[in-house]
């Protein structure tokens, strides 16, 4: 739900532990009579400067809106680096080590917990338009977008946001672009100058008017000398301390050619009117795949009978072999056809906690259940603050464990603890990485621009470090199973990844699903005509634990594909959930029976 803002909205990003700048921008808001509920920080509260704890406290105490930046993501999860998106070995990357260590040893557990709980996106409504506030990109928290970024890239992000505009941060240089009548706005950062040769930093004010929304890019003047002196006293990188006065970044590795060429050119305070007539009445959405015949309205209505009156098939739990845990539906990216609509905004399933997981493992032990395998899915599991602890718990109790991940930044920021876990308990751990196709084009059609290479890097890192790694693909392209496996085999060979594409456990190909498309219902007496027996279905040997946003305790559901449908909610305990599951959903037919699909490791 969008937060309605009925007056001027002040936006700033990147306080970067610069307390003097943070206090100055909050003072500016008071001078303009803008209340806290109309002030937004786009993240990276803690970074280069000296006052990590005090700056965080100033933002928290102000009662303003704040979203998670990559620095909050990293510090909130005890990651080993800031995750700013710098190229490995670049000057920015090397200098980040020092300030990150300083911030890391400064912040207490309460501060980290607050950062870990920050939302990744915020929807606001202003002047009759709906905007999505993000840190970097809509799909990727640390992606850089600049004024020179190709329009096609901005268009893709706006399409993914499904809104009238995006307000972002991360890049540190203010700009506003209008793309197809939609807004892309970056307020700049207040904690570090904009590489324009002046000590000024930047914020913005968005004001609804009769003609549209007026957007002011505003310079902030503050006591930069005091902030720099604190940095030097703490032994932080001189390059950043000097930049507070010179206005020139100590390294410009991240800058595109255009912005690099503008180094030292002073920016002007500007005002732009985003006119009402500029508003796009509709915006592009991902192209639909060829339409399947629609599902007949009378199907999957009666839990006991099919549309033809036949007794509906039901599956008995033979024994709980696999217990899945949905760690939460929040994800670092938003795929176009995600089975459960995970995204940076979807928190319909809350983060599961270690204590909640332990309760189910204790029940397994108490009742002597035949559970051999634990599975973790999301969302992106490695965004859950308790994920490493839950892995440790499952592995030390002797279970095989499988994690479904996109192997992108949320996983890679945890390299050190994952390597330690692998060294001690890795024999029973499998990481299955979602790589939707063996070509960049089709993978990114599903997952968004710039998602291919980070996933390939993640798979390569896992394989090179001895993890048991598998891949999950999708039947997106209309190719045969054999053709798809051949494509993956060549990809794995090209990258030196030791995965057998012919092994259905190490390369799982999931069928596509569309709950609105026609599929046959499964009758109790019709198993002989299908390619799978009832005993081989997931719900014959597995259950999944979920925690819905509005609930105070987790629930057990029939399978990984139906976390929202209350008809498949089987109770609060594993014993309650041991009853038969009626196949009264199109996914039961399409994925499990016709597609012979299963999320388990074997």
pLDDT of amino acid 1 = 63
Average pLDDT over residues 37-60: 96
Mind listing the pLDDT tens digit for each residue in 474-522? 876 567 777 788 889 999 999 999 999 989 889 998 876 666 778 889 9
Mind listing the pLDDT tens digit for each residue in 255-264? 888 888 888 8
Is 164 among the domain residues?
yes
Structural domain ending residue among the three candidates 256, 278, 300: 278
How many Cβ atoms from other residues are within 10 Å of residue 486's Cβ? 15
pLDDT of amino acid 295 = 82
pLDDT band at residue 150, thresholds of 50, 70 and 90? Answer: confident
Structural domain ending residue among the three candidates 222, 249, 278: 278
Mind listing the pLDDT tens digit for each residue in 293-330? 788 889 999 999 999 999 999 999 999 999 999 999 99
Is 220 among the domain residues?
yes
Average pLDDT over residues 69-79: 89
pLDDT of amino acid 271 = 92
Based on the fold, state whether residues 223 and 370 are members of the same structural domain.
Answer: no
Q: How far apart are CA 179 and CA 265, in angstroms?
A: 25
Based on the fold, state whether residues 320 and 238 are members of the same structural domain.
Answer: no
Task: Classify each residue of 5-44 as buried b or exposed e, where b means 16 or more C-beta atoms within 10 Å of its C-beta.
Answer: beebbbbbbbbbbbbbbbbbbbebbeeeebeeebbbbbbb
More confident residue, 328 or 78: 328
| Integer CA distances (angstroms), 117 to 72, 383, 385, 558, in order | 9, 11, 9, 29
Q: How far apart are CA 10 and CA 434, in angstroms?
A: 39
Is 178 among the domain residues?
yes
User: Which of 47-56, 252-261, 361-370, 541-550 has the weakest average pLDDT?
Assistant: 252-261
Is 248 among the domain residues?
yes
Is 293 among the domain residues?
no
pLDDT band at residue 290, thresholds of 50, 70 and 90? Answer: very low
Average pLDDT over residues 242-258: 87
Based on the fold, state whether residues 269 and 322 are members of the same structural domain.
Answer: no
Based on the fold, state whether residues 208 and 158 are members of the same structural domain.
Answer: yes
Checking if the pLDDT of 291 tops 90, the result is: no
pLDDT band at residue 560, thresholds of 50, 70 and 90? Answer: confident
Based on the fold, state whether residues 324 and 258 are members of the same structural domain.
Answer: no
Q: Which domain holds residue 428?
A: 316-594
Q: Do the strands 39-41 and 65-66 form a parallel or antiparallel pair, or are they unpaired?
A: parallel
Average pLDDT over residues 542-552: 94
Based on the fold, state whether residues 266 and 322 are members of the same structural domain.
Answer: no
Is 116 among the domain residues?
yes
Q: How far apart are CA 329 and CA 345, in angstroms?
A: 9
Angle at 399 between CA 396 and CA 400, to 5 degrees: 115
Mind listing the pLDDT tens digit for each residue in 465-485? 999 999 999 876 567 777 788
pLDDT of amino acid 515 = 66
Based on the fold, state whether residues 244 and 325 are members of the same structural domain.
Answer: no
Based on the fold, state whether residues 176 and 325 are members of the same structural domain.
Answer: no
pLDDT of amino acid 216 = 96
Give me the CATH number covering residue 366: 3.20.20.70
**Peptide bond between residue 153 and the one before it cis (omega within 30 degrees of 0):** no
User: Which of 33-42, 286-295, 590-599 has the weakest average pLDDT?
Assistant: 286-295
Mind listing the pLDDT tens digit for each residue in 16-27? 999 999 999 999
User: Which of 270-279, 369-378, 523-532, 590-599 has the weakest average pLDDT?
Assistant: 590-599
pLDDT of amino acid 285 = 32
pLDDT band at residue 445, thresholds of 50, 70 and 90? Answer: confident
| Integer CA distances (angstroms), 59 to 27, 62, 100, 232, in order | 12, 5, 19, 23
Q: How many domains does the chain have?
A: 2
Q: Are 263 and 119 in contact (CB under 8 A)?
A: no
SS3 content of the chain, % helix, strand, coil (to 5): 35, 20, 45
Is 297 among the domain residues?
no
Q: What is the pTM of this model?
A: 0.64
pLDDT of amino acid 476 = 65
Q: How far apart are CA 212 and CA 207, in angstroms?
A: 9
Average pLDDT over residues 193-206: 96
Based on the fold, state whether residues 530 and 450 are members of the same structural domain.
Answer: yes
pLDDT of amino acid 578 = 96
pLDDT of amino acid 486 = 86
Q: How far apart are CA 170 and CA 69, in angstroms?
A: 8
User: Which of 33-42, 398-407, 551-560 has the weakest average pLDDT?
Assistant: 551-560
Checking if the pLDDT of 566 tops 90, the result is: no
Is 290 among the domain residues?
no
Give me the CATH number covering residue 249: 3.60.21.10
Q: Are 213 and 196 in contact (CB under 8 A)?
A: no
Q: How far apart are CA 472 and CA 578, in angstroms?
A: 28
pLDDT band at residue 599, thresholds of 50, 70 and 90? Answer: low
Of the chain, the percentage scoring pLDDT greater than 70 comes to 93
- DSSP class of residue 312 equals B
Structural domain ending residue among the three candidates 278, 299, 324: 278
Mind listing the pLDDT tens digit for each residue in 82-127? 777 666 665 666 777 888 888 888 999 999 999 999 999 999 999 9
Checking if the pLDDT of 246 tops 50, the result is: yes
Based on the fold, state whether residues 255 and 402 are members of the same structural domain.
Answer: no
Angle between helices 52-62 and 109-116 (to 10 degrees): 50
Chain-wide mean pLDDT for the chain? 89
Based on the fold, state whether residues 258 and 125 are members of the same structural domain.
Answer: yes
Give the side-chain half-sphere CA count within 13 A for 122.
Answer: 27
Based on the fold, state whether residues 420 and 524 are members of the same structural domain.
Answer: yes
Q: Locate 76 and state its tokens.
A: 């909130």
More confident residue, 434 or 80: 434
Average pLDDT over residues 233-237: 92
Average pLDDT over residues 448-475: 93
Which residue, 296, 19, 331, is CA-closest to 160? 331
């Amino acid at each position: 739900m969008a937060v309605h803002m009925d007056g001027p909205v002040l936006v700033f990003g990147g306080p970067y532990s610069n307390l003097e700048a943070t206090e100055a921008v909050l003072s500016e808001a008071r001078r303009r009579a803008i209340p806290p509920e109309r002030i937004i920080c786009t993240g990276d509260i803690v970074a280069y400067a000296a006052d990590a704890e005090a700056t965080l406290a100033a933002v928290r105490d102000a009662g303003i809106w704040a979203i998670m930046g990559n620095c909050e993501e990293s510090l909130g999860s005890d990651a080993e680096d800031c995750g700013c998106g710098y190229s490995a070995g670049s000057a920015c990357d090397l200098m980040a080590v020092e300030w990150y260590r300083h911030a890391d040893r400064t912040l207490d557990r309460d501060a980290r917990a607050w950062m870990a709980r920050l939302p990744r996106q915020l929807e606001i409504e202003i002047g009759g338009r709906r905007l999505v506030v993000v840190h970097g990109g809509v799909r990727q928290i640390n992606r850089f977008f600049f004024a020179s970024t190709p329009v096609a890239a901005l268009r893709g992000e706006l399409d993914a946001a499904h809104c009238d505009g995006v307000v972002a941060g991360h890049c540190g240089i203010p700009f506003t672009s209008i793309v197809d009548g939609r807004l892309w706005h970056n307020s700049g950062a207040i904690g570090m100058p904009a590489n324009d040769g002046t000590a000024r930093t930047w914020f913005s004010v968005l004001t609804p008017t009769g003609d549209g929304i007026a957007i002011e890019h505003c310079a902030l003047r503050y006591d930069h000398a005091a902030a720099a002196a604190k940095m030097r006293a703490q032994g932080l990188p001189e390059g950043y301390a000097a930049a507070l006065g010179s206005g020139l970044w100590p390294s410009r590795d991240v800058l595109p050619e255009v912005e690099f060429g503008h180094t030292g050119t002073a920016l002007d305070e500007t005002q732009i009117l985003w006119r009402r007539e500029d508003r796009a009445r509709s915006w592009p959405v991902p192209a639909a795949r060829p339409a399947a015949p629609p599902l007949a309205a009378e199907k999957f209505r009666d839990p006991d009978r099919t549309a033809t009156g036949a007794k509906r098939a039901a599956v008995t739990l033979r024994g709980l072999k696999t217990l899945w845990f949905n760690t939460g539906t929040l994800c670092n990216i938003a795929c176009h056809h995600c089975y459960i609509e995970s995204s940076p905004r979807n928190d319909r399933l809350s983060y599961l906690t270690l204590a909640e997981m332990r309760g189910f493992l204790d029940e397994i032990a108490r009742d002597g259940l035949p559970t051999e395998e634990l599975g973790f899915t999301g969302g992106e599991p490695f965004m859950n603050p308790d994920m490493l602890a839950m892995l440790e718990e499952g592995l030390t109790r002797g279970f095989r464990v499988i994690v479904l991940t996109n192997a992108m930044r949320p996983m890679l920021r945890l390299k050190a603890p994952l390597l330690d876990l692998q060294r001690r308990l890795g024999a029973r751990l499998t990481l299955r990485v979602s790589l939707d196709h063996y070509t960049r084009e089709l993978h990114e059609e599903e997952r968004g621009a710039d998602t291919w290479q980070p996933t390939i890097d993640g798979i390569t890192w896992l394989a090179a470090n001895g993890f048991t790694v598998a891949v999950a693909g999708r039947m997106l392209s209309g190719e045969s199973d054999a053709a798809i496996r051949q494509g993956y085999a060549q990809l794995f060979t090209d990258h030196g990844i030791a995965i057998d594409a012919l092994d259905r456990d190490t390369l799982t190909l999931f069928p596509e699903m569309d709950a609105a498309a026609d599929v046959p219902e499964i009758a109790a007496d019709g198993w002989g005509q299908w390619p799978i027996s009832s005993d081989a279905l997931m719900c014959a040997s597995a259950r999944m634990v979920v925690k819905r946003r509005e609930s105070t305790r987790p629930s057990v559901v029939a399978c990984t594909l139906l976390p929202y449908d209350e008809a498949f909610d089987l109770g609060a305990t594993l014993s309650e959930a041991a009853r038969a599951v009626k196949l009264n959903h199109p996914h039961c037919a399409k994925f499990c029976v016709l597609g012979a699909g299963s999320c388990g490791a074997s």
